[in-house]
Amino acid sequence: MNMDRKEILGEVGRVVVKVGTSSITMGGDTVSSEFMDSVAEQVRKLRDGGKEVLIVTSGAIGIGLKAMNAKPKPKEIPVRQAAASVGQSILMQKWNDSFQKQGIVVAQILITLNDYSDRETILNLNNTIDSLLSYNVVPIFNENDAICVKEIGPMFGDNDTLSAVIASRADADLLVILSDVDGLYTKNPSLHEDAAFIPTVTELTPEILEMAGDTMSSTGTGGMRTKLKAAAICKDAGCRMIIALSTEKDVLLRAATGEDIGTVFVSDTHISKKKRWMKAAHSMGTVVIDDGAMKALTEHRSLLPVGVKEVTGQFSKGDVIDIVCKGEIVAKATPNYSSEEISRIRGMHSDRIRDVLGKCPYNDVALSENIALM
Ligand code: GLU
């Protein structure tokens, strides 16, 4: 289906641009200043047209490995982390050079999933973003790969996901993913001649998710699968998303101004910012619920202790947790009680909370506004 692009995009005020490793290196193994200059120039033009722009950049690890003369895609964690620290500073130096030519100041923000999952930290990040934009600075984000290790702790793991999370956090109207693919196809176009291009995606149906296959770019972390995950995060935020080929002339300008380029993901839903945060945050524990509680959740009612069967992990009131029913994560929530307290009141009617805990600030384990269904 092809819909009018301008109509889909509506009024675009705030844009997040994700630039992948393969785009920054133009498929080679050195940084392409020409490409970065072109992105900076297009960002300047978007800003001249009244739009606010934030960037999520990849490339730190790849650039660092090259600078250190290390072998590509190393398995050793310390080598990857060393490469990230070397590469991140080179990357920012390059962005700084490109944006300086446009008279634009940039800021570096490195984020981890642990930081993101902390409520205070993330609220504070919003103030930082607002303040930077009010000073006309372009914030440039990356995951803090120098201190994050997927083998050890929680990570975003790929910048498609990170860019969608930032777009959601910043209430962006549009996320543009500049990539080495020009959009979504019915099959992997490099393997199948009869693959058909899909200009517009209105629903993330199982068929669409199936189309992602396992396409991976040779240098970056993401593939089509992570891009569709990003589309789901954007959809929750009422943010449109476009995947487009980074080497197309003026791709960013054209995408953000409603020209038919790449694949656009339509978004008509919008859930609260707090629930969006919960869905993307790292969970500190799990509460297993029974069928009755599950029914209550789907009817947008709160979770009562009587419906809780089991508690695992150690969490405090207000931490993000998984709500599990029949072995599946059905929701994320921020509970009113700690793991230790919920363990003591699980399976009980709420009128017993005071007897057991010596206090009863809430009848519910989690209020419906603090439960985000998956
Ligand atoms: N954060 C990684 C880097 O800058 C890139 C992750 C990705 O390719 O999605 O090297």
- pTM to 2 decimal places: 0.90
Pocket lining: 177 vs ligand 1, CB cutoff 6 Å = no
Is the Cα dihedral 265, 268, 273, 276 positive or negative?
Answer: negative
Q: Is the shortest distance between the CB of 159 and ligand 1 below 6 Å?
A: yes
Distance, CA of 166 to CA of 174 (rounded, Å): 11
Domain coordinates in residue numbering, the chain: 5-275, 283-373
pLDDT at 207 over 80: yes
Q: What is the pLDDT of residues 187-199, one digit of tens each?
A: 888 888 888 999 9
Residue 283 CB–ligand 1 contact under 6 Å: no
User: Which residue puts its alpha carbon closest to atom 5 of ligand 1?
Assistant: 58
**DSSP state string for 211-265:** HTTT-B-SSSS-BHHHHHHHHHHHHHTT-EEEEEETTSTTHHHHHHTT-S-SEEE
Dihedrals phi, psi of 154, to nearest 5 degrees: -70, 145
Predicted confidence at residue 217, as pLDDT, reads 47
- The pLDDT tens digits for 109-157 are 999 999 999 999 999 999 999 999 999 999 999 999 999 877 777 899 8
Ligand 1 pocket, mutate which of 145, 150, 218, 225 (most atoms under 8 A from CB): 145
Q: Please report the pLDDT score of residue 287 as a whole number.
A: 98
Please say if the pLDDT value at position 49 is more than 60: yes
Distance 32 CA to ligand 1 centre (A): 16
In this prediction, what percent of the chain has a pLDDT beyond 70? 97
Give me the sheet containing 52-57, strands edge to edge.
106-111, 138-143, 52-57, 14-19, 174-179, 240-245, 263-265, 200-201
pLDDT (tens digit per residue) in 264-316: 999 888 899 999 999 999 999 999 999 999 999 999 999 999 999 999 999 99
Q: Is the CB of 180 under 6 A from ligand 1?
A: no
Residue 59, ligand 1, Cβ within 6 A = yes
Lowest model confidence (mean pLDDT) among 169-178, 220-229, 334-343: 220-229
Give SS3 for 74: coil
Distance CA 180, CA 166 (A): 21
Domain 283-373 grouped into CATH 3.30.420.40: no
Given 3.40.640.10, 3.30.2010.10, 3.40.190.10, 3.40.1160.10, which CATH number is that of 5-275? 3.40.1160.10
Q: Ligand 1 centroid to 305 CA: how many Å?
A: 42
Q: Is 302 in the pocket of ligand 1 (CB under 6 A)?
A: no
Does the pLDDT of residue 201 top 50, yes or no?
yes
Per-residue pLDDT at 134:
96
Tell me the pLDDT tens digit for each residue of 17-26: 999 998 998 8
Among 68, 141, 142, name the best residue to mutate to test ligand 1's pocket (greatest count of ligand atoms within 8 A of Cβ).
142
